[in-house]
Amino acid sequence: MAVKTSLTFTTFRNVVDGQLVDTQEHRHGINPASKLPSYDVPLATQKDLDTAVDAARTSFGEWSQTSAAERKQLVLKYADAIENERSGFVTLLTMEQGKPLHMAEYEFGLAVRWIREMAEIDVPEEVIEDSADRITSVRYTPICVMAAIVPWNYPILLATGKIAPALLTGNTIIIKPSPFTPYCGLKLAELAIGIFYPGVVQCLSGDDHLGPWITSHPGIDKISFAGSTATGKLRVTLELGGNDPAIIFPDVDIAKTVPEIAFYAFLNSGQTCLCVKRIYVHESIYGKFREALVQHVKTLKTGDGTLEGVSHGPLQNAMQYERVKGFFAEVKAQELKIAIGGEIEPSDGYFITPTIIDNPPEESRIVEEEPFGPIVPILSWKTEDEVVGRANNTKMGFGASVWSSNTAETTRIARRLEAGTVRVNNHFDLSPKTPFGGVKESGIGVEWGSQGMRAYCNIQSIVVKKD
């Protein structure tokens, strides 16, 4: 099949059964930097979903029987096709999500890398018993029709991170991008038309009705969901929210550590499940660390992501903007101490400057909940047992980090933290080969890595009796 390498990034259609399909009604996203409407996109109906599911189930038979080697080659060809459209995707991503162009470049690069590296992960048949009586093997077979519900904070990376494992394991997939950021997802599926069989990769843009239609559809076999709430589907992989702690020990190099903590706290304007949400600093360096952090945050620039020198864009949508404003209101009402920031100035977009709250009570909302915005508490601690207990005192458990020059000690402490991933002297070291998921209320199952690939499969045991 020929690779389609030229997209138009101003017109948008659903992708159903290998065709670009329009709908009778339309909607549009909002550019969060200007609050102005963006391009029209389709508004899918329940009938459109039924058509897509039928196409996915029809194409599954042929696609699932394609060899793993051939599927891998087509997925790699798909990665090449996406990379050929780098400029268009990066500009579109900044328009719809708001992140600065350099961060859109970063997300785009990760997305292409994720596809290519996941294509190198094998899920081989395994012999688990070879005794005098029997030989038993376990094989991993495709489930059938996947649905990917993609959030608005990383609309390219989190889409490709679901598309690649679904296709590599022999499944078909229907992508539902967020109503807030529908554009890149539609173009990712449009690119797939020239590479895969019709019905293998499809995409539907819709409103708030589409998600419930998908999660309750009897023809969809598994949901992969990233967001903030459970979907209600029985067979799911859920990547939900986090309230990640970063624990800073007194032996850190403050000048080196502060810029990294600031980066991970305010990455994507705080709209990342893995952002640092609570900064715990040992009392012996608390004052110096806080002051250094404040001085660094002063160098950050919030604004329209298309402008030179901007480090942080707006909140992505009005709903999230209002939620984060609620945290600011509570900080003022409780008269909490503000180290920097704290004011939301009127603007043409959903802009909020990075804000640090100085040593608030542990039971305050800013400590207990995830704002998903550019506001973070810095807190003092005295003993290891105390800070580990405080770090674990949350219903969430996505990520955590421990910072110290003593790697052996920090690794030991990392094992005490209740999180899906704990990093030492880093907070965002991601790899498509590392399982990605949370514990507690931060998720069910994992994505990525060989474990994540197996989540897109049925497990079949073959037991052969020996004579």
With beta carbons less than 8 A apart as the criterion, state whether 284 and 250 touch.
Answer: yes
Of residues 285, 294, 281, the one with CA closest to residue 379: 281
What pTM was estimated for this model as a whole?
A: 0.94
Distance of alpha carbon 251 from alpha carbon 18, whole angstroms: 58
Beta bridge partners of 259: none
H/E run at residue 397: strand 396-397
Tokens 């020059």 belong to: 405
Angle between helical axes of 286-297 and 254-266 (0-180°, round to 10):
60
With beta carbons less than 8 A apart as the criterion, state whether 190 and 13 touch.
Answer: yes
Q: In what order do the strands lie in the sheet with 421-424?
A: 338-340, 355-358, 375-381, 276-282, 244-248, 399-403, 421-424
Q: How far is CA 144 from CA 64, 174, 457, in A?
A: 8, 11, 9
Q: What is the pLDDT along the chain (467 residues), one digit of tens a residue?
A: 444 457 999 999 999 999 999 999 999 999 999 999 999 999 999 999 999 999 999 999 999 999 999 999 999 999 999 999 999 999 999 999 999 999 999 999 999 999 999 999 999 999 999 999 999 999 999 999 999 999 999 999 999 999 999 999 999 999 999 999 999 999 999 999 999 999 999 999 999 999 999 999 999 999 998 765 333 445 666 667 899 999 999 999 999 999 999 999 999 999 999 999 999 999 999 999 999 999 999 999 999 999 999 999 999 999 999 999 999 999 999 999 999 999 999 999 999 999 999 999 999 999 999 999 999 999 999 999 999 999 999 999 999 999 999 999 999 999 999 999 999 999 988 999 998 888 988 878 888 899 999 999 999 999 999 98
Q: How many CB atoms lie within 10 A of CB 299?
A: 9
pLDDT at residue 441, as a whole number: 86
pLDDT at residue 467, as a whole number: 83
Distance of alpha carbon 140 from alpha carbon 461, whole angstroms: 9
Distance of alpha carbon 276 from alpha carbon 399, whole angstroms: 8
Of residues 158, 172, 178, 65, the one with CA closest to residue 115: 158
Catalytic residues: 239, 273
With beta carbons less than 8 A apart as the criterion, state whether 331 and 80 touch.
Answer: no
Q: How many CB atoms lie within 10 A of CB 108?
A: 23
Distance of alpha carbon 199 from alpha carbon 54, whole angstroms: 8
pLDDT at residue 436, as a whole number: 84
Distance of alpha carbon 263 from alpha carbon 184, whole angstroms: 25
pLDDT at residue 82, as a whole number: 98
